[in-house]
Amino acid sequence: MRKGIHPEYGPVVFRDRAANHAFLTRSTMTSDKTIEWEDGNTYPVVDVEISNVSHPFYTGTARVLDTAGRVERFERRYGKQEKRGGA
């Protein structure tokens, strides 16, 4: 890698305030805010709106919405397709 063209890569704490969850990882992101971590060291902290702890896909609360009965309306218009016999 060429010197002087890449951002600093170091430990950063990402904090999901909605879920009261934080994790320490390495990143090029920076912040003026800091937090004292469990190991006693102080790291920059970046607040995020959503993480794996609060995301509906990972928490199992994701819902598939069939707004206005689109599937039923399609089946009424074009008929339900029957399975074709294969060879």
Query: Rounded to two decimals, what is the model's pTM?
Result: 0.61
Residues 6+ apart with CB under 8 A from 12: 24, 25, 26, 27, 29, 30, 31, 43, 44, 45, 46
Give the mean pLDDT of the chain. Answer: 82
pLDDT at residue 73 tops 70: yes
Per-residue pLDDT tens digits for 13-51: 999 888 888 999 999 998 999 999 999 999 999 998 887
Integer Cα distance of 49 and 29 in angstroms? 15
- Asked which of 37-41, 51-55, 71-75 is least confident by mean pLDDT, the reply is 51-55
Residue 43's pLDDT is 96
Give dist(CA 44, CA 34) in Å, integer: 4
